[in-house]
Structure 1
């Protein structure tokens, strides 16, 4: 893994941790799209890598399944996990200082963006395979 990839992975972990602590979303809502769009990972590899990053709290059985299928990048998962912890703490501190309606609006905007972006990518892929 080169230094640029490591920096990107750590930024993904930090952002996902902040968002998780800030609005209570699961890290996978950020990590999976970031790995797919930011680093060009396949959907399965991104899902497996995201789950591997979260092994301590959740997902160990799912990670084993993805790992056996060759769909986990353990180095990427470790790099993301490192900064996710710090980010979750920062995000929780920020969130608690803000009006809950503002936090909810930020969450809604992020979810809408993620849904449109993932839906568009899926539509383009399906259109190309017909």
Structure 2
């Protein structure tokens, strides 16, 4: 029975994450990372890395739909992607060097700042 609830919980978290990712174009990490830490007991570093792999297919599906609806700004996408590729490499290399407790605090502050920015 525990396995059933684990799988059910994972599916519900995935459904909600996919919905938010599709609706807002991103943001799945703000849901999936805390869910992995608090609902599934995964350490902070591993939850960040796992979240990226979970979000990849969501982003591909959402991007395909946005592409079909002609909602993508290609010149801007190329410019931002150039910097994002290098930034993601540096961030991924840095992740393993940050202690879990500090990473949780940094992520929490980032989420609070993002939320404040959205409502102001």
TM-score by length of 1: 0.43
Structure with the larger RCO, 1 or 2 (CA within 8 Å, 6+ apart): 1
TM-score by length of 2: 0.46
